[in-house]
Structure 1
Amino acid sequence: MSIPVLELIDILWLKFRDMNPQAGQIVDLLAERGDRLQNDHIAFRTFNDPRIGVSVLAKPFVAGGYVVGDEYQFEEKKLYAQHFEHPDPEMPKIFISELLLEKFDAPVRKTVERLIDQVDTHAINDDHPLCIAARPWRSSYEDWKLLRDVSEYAAWMAAHGFCANHFTVFVNALKSVASLQELNSLLVEKGFELNAEGGAVKGSPEVFLEQSSTLASTVNVEFTDGVHAVPGCYFEFARRYPLPNGELFSGFVAKSADKIFQSTDSRS
C-alpha cells in the first residue's frame, strides 16, 4: 500500500525543514503574526532517464489523486517540466522538472549516467517512493564541480538526489501582509537574503503570478572525496491572480521559473 499523500507531504516537509532551517524560521515568523503556512507548490528535480524521470517521481502523487496540469520547456537550462494538481485546492501543486541529458556533451552525460546506474530501482516502490529517496548514489566533489561548470541543476542533483527542492508559501492565504512586495520587505528586514535574479519579484499580475524566493542555504555534503559546502534548498513565495473567468491561475510562468531555478546557484 502506498504512503497516503498527506503523510508523504508531511515527511517531505520535515526533511526539507531539516535541510533548510530558514524555512522553519520564516514559518515561525509568520505564525507570530497570526498566519499559518499554506503551501502553493512543492518542487522536485530529476534527470530524463526512464528509471527516475518525471513519471516515476509523480507516481505517489498520482496515486493520491493528482492529475497533470500543464507542461513547460526551459530551453536555456535544457529542462522539461510538468505540474500536477489535486482536486482539493488547498493541497499543494507538485512541480517536477527533469534535465534533458541528450542536450549535453559526453562528459556530462557519462558522469550523470554513472550516478543513475547506482540507483537500486527495485528499492523504489509504494512504501519507498523516489521523491524521498535522498541521494541514491555515491558522487565526488570533482563530479559536482564538473557538473556545476555546465549545469548548476545537474550539480544540485549530484549532491542531493531526491527530496523537495523547495516548498512555496501561498501568499494569497496570508493575512498579515497585503502583497508579495510587503512580504519580501519583511523578510529582508529580518535578515533573509532573497534571489535578486531578474528582480526580487518574478512575474506580474499581467501574467497572473508573482514569485520570489530566498537564496538556498549552504549545507555540508559528504562526497566520496570529503565534506564540502554546497547550495541546498530554498523557500519560495507565490501570489496568484484571477484569470478573466474569475478562477485563480493555477499554472506556472516559464520565464519566471527560469530565474527561480537560480536560487540554488553557487555564489563563490
Structure 2
Amino acid sequence: MNANDFFQSLWKSYIEITPQADSVQKLFQGAGEEIINDHVAFRTFANSPIALEKLEPILTQLGYKAYGAFRFENKHLVARCYKHSDTNLPKIFLSELLTHELSEAAQQILDGIIAQIPADAVQSPAVFWGGPLWSKPTLAEYQTLSQESEYAAWLSTIGLKANHFTVSINHLKGFDDIASVNQLLLDKGYTLNTVGGLVKGTPEVFLEQSSTMADKIEFTFADGETQTIPSCFYEFAIRHKQADGTLFDSFIEGNADKIFDSTNQN
C-alpha cells in the first residue's frame, strides 16, 4: 500500500463516524477550494501490542520519518510526529496513553482492554483504521475512565482510527487567516472547540489551530446500555514563517493539549 491509498482508506473510515468532516470538506470545495490536509492524528495505548513503537514501522514503510517528541503531563500522554518527503501528504501526529500513570481503578479497566489485543495486531497499515481490537466496555467502566481521562474513555470505545484530519489553511486560496475560516464554520452552524479560545496558538509561535467539537454517535455498551458519545472531529491549521523564512512544520504542546479536548463529552 502506498501513502495515498493509506489516506484514502483512512478518510473513508473516518467519515463513517464523522459526517461533519465530509460536509465541511464539501463546503470548502463548493467555494472552489482544493483541500490539502496539514496532518492526521491517532491515539493508542502505550505498553501494548499497538503502542507507538509498534506502529511506527508501518509509518516508516509508507515513507514517513519521525522528527519530534512531546509530553502532555496533565493528560498522561506522549506523542511523536512524522513527515513525508512529499509535502502534499499530511504530517502524522501519533499519541499514546501512559496507562500506568492513572488510578488503580482505571488501570484495571485498561489492563483488561489491552490484554485482549492480539500480540501480532500490527501487520499492515489497515491497523490504523481497525477500530477497537477488544470487546466493548460497560457503561460504568466508560464513566470511570471519562472521569479521569477523556482520552482513555474515547479510546476504549472508538479504538485505533484517525481521530481528526486537518485542513491546511495555507493551501486555501480564498481564506487568508484562521479567523475567516472559523467565522464561516460558525455561520454554517458548526460547533467549535472553545477551550483556550477559538484559536489555539498565535503567529508568534508560528502555528494557529482551531477545531470542531467531535460528532456524536449512539453507542451500545457491553451491558446493553446505550449512550451518545463523541466520535471524531475536524481541525484547521495555519502555519507561519519562522525567522529563516521557512514555514514552521512541527507542533506546539500547548495547542495540542487543547485540541485533544475536542472529543470531550461536554
Unaligned runs of 5+ in 1: none
> Separation in 2 of the partners of 1:210 and 1:71?
19
Does the residue aligned with 1:102 lie in a helix, a strand or coil? helix
- 1:79 alignment counterpart: 77
The RMSD of aligned alpha carbons is 1.1
| Shift in Å, 1:222 | 2.9
- 1:31 alignment counterpart: 29
> Separation in 2 of the partners of 1:28 and 1:116?
38
- 2:129 alignment counterpart: 132
Does the residue aligned with 2:220 lie in a helix, a strand or coil? strand
- 2:219 alignment counterpart: 221
- 2:248 alignment counterpart: 249
- 1:17 alignment counterpart: 15
| Shift in Å, 1:87 | 0.8
> Separation in 2 of the partners of 1:239 and 1:69?
19
Contact 1:57 1:129 in 2 (8 A): no
Contact 1:47 1:100 in 2 (8 A): yes
Contact 1:148 1:154 in 2 (8 A): yes
| Shift in Å, 1:228 | 2.0
- 1:238 alignment counterpart: 237
Q: TM-score, normalised by structure 1?
A: 0.95
User: What letter matches 2:123 in structure 1?
Assistant: N
Does the residue aligned with 2:259 lie in a helix, a strand or coil? helix
- 2:158 alignment counterpart: 160
Matches within 5 A, 1:97-176: 97-126=95-124, 129-138=126-135, 139-176=137-174
User: What letter matches 1:237 in structure 2?
Assistant: F
- The size of the alignment, in residue pairs, is 264
Contact 1:143 1:158 in 2 (8 A): no
Contact 2:49 2:122 in 1 (8 A): no
Contact 2:79 2:94 in 1 (8 A): yes
| Shift in Å, 1:123 | 4.4
> Separation in 1 of the partners of 2:208 and 2:122?
35
Contact 1:56 1:130 in 2 (8 A): no
> Separation in 2 of the partners of 1:16 and 1:145?
24
Matches within 5 A, 1:190-205: 190-205=188-203
| Shift in Å, 1:69 | 1.4
> Which residue among 89, 92, 95 is the counterpart of 2:90?
92
Does the residue aligned with 2:50 lie in a helix, a strand or coil? coil
- What percent of counterpart residues are identical? 37
Q: TM-score, normalised by structure 2?
A: 0.96
1:70-94 CA-partner distances (Å, limit 9, x unpaired): 0011111111000001011111000
> Separation in 1 of the partners of 2:42 and 2:254?
18
Does the residue aligned with 1:229 lie in a helix, a strand or coil? strand
Matches within 5 A, 1:25-64: 25-64=23-62
> Separation in 2 of the partners of 1:260 and 1:100?
18
> Separation in 1 of the partners of 2:138 and 2:122?
23
> Separation in 2 of the partners of 1:223 and 1:118?
17
- 1:178 alignment counterpart: 176
User: What letter matches 1:261 in structure 2?
Assistant: F
Does the residue aligned with 1:168 lie in a helix, a strand or coil? strand
- 1:261 alignment counterpart: 260
Unaligned runs of 5+ in 2: none
Does the residue aligned with 1:260 lie in a helix, a strand or coil? helix
